[in-house]
Structure 1
């Protein structure tokens, strides 16, 4: 199948990982990178564009997208979080016999009130198929006029997220507890309490943390802005325990990061949710916590027991492989669904 892929193709973008999976599954991919349009004019203009959703860059993206689709005439166009694509552009694709799929890792219906959803919501009824990663979004999209909605959970990327070399041990892990990510919800207070009240040794990587941590906490905990790709994987390798939270303000029930940590062979400590329980056996393939006190108690026990941590981390990695939590398996199911139901 010939697939035109419309999305960010930045090296660290998860959209690029999905594009690579489609190619690994044996399909020909025609790239349409949205980054040059999204970044056009510099940081300030880009920020204004996200909020206003007007301007020359958006016009150029839609014009060029149609031109590339017209030239290559793919069997399918995969749009990844297409916040700059007009409804009339999607309608043109469908009217010209091009099957349109839209995947959105984020939540335009959530309480976080992120800017930039107007064009996507206007175009939503025009797509042939929407892919979402939250159970709650299945009905949200149908109520907004979606023709068809199918589940595509977040996934790990097998070319990046894999275990450390054989023989890796605590002597190779200078960090006791790590959190890599954004300070959504009440994470700053949670991690400060772990460090200050429970005296858990902890390090944080990610942007925006300095504004939410006290000067003492920042000095003790914050290691700098986010780590990506090889450095992200190696930071997981070099940590004895890795924390993972769901983003409640985005109505998440399972964290993308949880699949990545487990796939990297890391010891996963994740927030206790139905979604995490559905994907990992608590105490066997990951360890789940329901409060800061519960998290601290479990961290103390497991940090002192390398053997048990290694057992759980190995089982977590095995669960990822056997249950198909990687991009290839997840996207492979989507493509089978499309072929079966739409005769492509």
Structure 2
């Protein structure tokens, strides 16, 4: 199959990983980077326009569409696959000659920040809308989507795999992910309790003043293989969910164990389905429960290392790579 894949193509992007997943299955894939429109550089004219107009700058959108249409003319795709392309011109995407047009959203499509009026106007014209949120499927169908498919998030074996440590320092507990309002207070509380034993890495954390008054290590974002290198320096890797997405699992659900890290995550039905609590991961529903897990990790490092190894095997052997997800999507299209 010839696939024209439209998505953000920066290092560590899930879109890049999924495009590579289709390629690993043997399909011809051309990827067109939508980053100039979707994530314009901070303080650039495109960024300032987006902030003041609540839509992406028309000149960057036009630039991306020109590249898409040139690629389509040469490739003559069987499938146009749009990865969270809500900020592009939906009519132009759907008018690209192809047998199938698929839109994929990694975020909650019921949250207005993850859609646009243009996308919602044309949502029913996509042959398939793919979501990583199980609860979105009935919502999409009720909204008029032709067909909706739930697939879980995934890991990329090119980036998410056990790595040698790059530092002699080993943190008891760590979190790799963006700073969000629903995470800030809890992370500050952990920093005050665990101090230098805590690593927090991700966009926005360095701007949290309360963290700077603790001994916790606060770092910027890590992507690609750097993510796995960071996991290697942490005994208990926290997997926190995004309440705005109504998450019951997340990319980190797969990335942390695939990188060889001990999964310590919020208790949900999906997490319990994917990893067995106590033997392949640790799940918690309260701060007290988390503190007990961290005490166990501190006292019995060899025991929790065996649990991390079991979690690694469960995810690696469980069909959770982006190539596996690409296969699920293509199977749904063949039905």
Structure 2 counterpart of 1:312, from 304, 307, 313: 307
Match of 2:65 in 1: 62
Structure 1 residue aligned with 2:21: 21
Distance 1:329 1:311, change over 3 A: same
Quote how far apart the aligned CAs of 1:197 are. Answer: 4.3
Segments of structure 2 that go 5 or more residues without pairing to the other structure are: none
Give 1:55 shift.
1.7
Q: How does 1:121-270 map to 2 (within 5 A)?
A: 121-164=120-163, 174-197=170-193, 201-214=197-210, 216-217=212-213, 219-270=214-265
- Comparing 176-185 with 254-263, greater Cα deviation is found at 176-185
Partner of 1:299: 294
Bigger mean CA deviation after superposition, 121-130 or 38-47: 38-47
Instruction: Give me the whole-angstrom Cα distance separating, in 2, the residues matched to 1:143 and 1:21.
Output: 30
Q: Give the Cα–Cα distance (whole angstroms) in 1 for the partners of residues 272 and 94 of structure 2.
A: 40
Distance apart, 1:267 and its partner CA: 0.7
Q: Is 1:86–1:123's contact at 8 Å kept on the other side of the alignment? A: no
Q: Deviations over 1:95-136 (max 9, x none)?
A: x443101111112312xx537623322221111111100011
Distance 1:41 1:283, change over 3 A: closer
Q: Kindly tell me: are residues 115 and 124 of structure 1, through their superposed partners in 2, closer, same or farther at Cα, counting changes over 3 Å?
A: closer
User: Deviation per CA, 1:267-302, whole angstroms, max 9, x where unpaired?
Assistant: 110011112112111011110011112101111112
Aligned partner of residue 300 in structure 1, secondary structure: helix
TM normalised by structure 1 equals 0.88
CA distance in 1, matches of 2:91, 2:62: 12
Distance 1:201 1:184 in 2: 21
Cα distance in 1 for partners of 2:256, 2:211 equals 29
Q: Which runs of 5+ in 1 are unaligned?
A: none
Q: Distance in 1 between matches of 2:195 and 2:17?
A: 38
The 1:159–1:215 alpha-carbon spacing in structure 2 relative to 1, beyond 3 Å, is closer
When residues 40 and 240 of structure 1 are mapped into structure 2, their CA distance, relative to the original with a 3 A threshold, is closer
Q: How many Å apart are 1:324 and its aligned residue?
A: 1.0
Aligned residues: 331
Aligned-partner Cα distance in 2 for 1:192–1:273: 23
Partner of 1:98: 99
**Partners of 1:131 and 1:151 within 8 A in 2:** yes
CA-to-aligned-CA distance 1:130-162 (integer Å, 9 cap, x gap): 110001111221122211111121100011111
Equivalents in 2 of 1:258, 1:274: separation in Å? 13
Question: Is the Cα contact below 8 Å between 1:198 and 1:296 reproduced in 2?
Answer: no
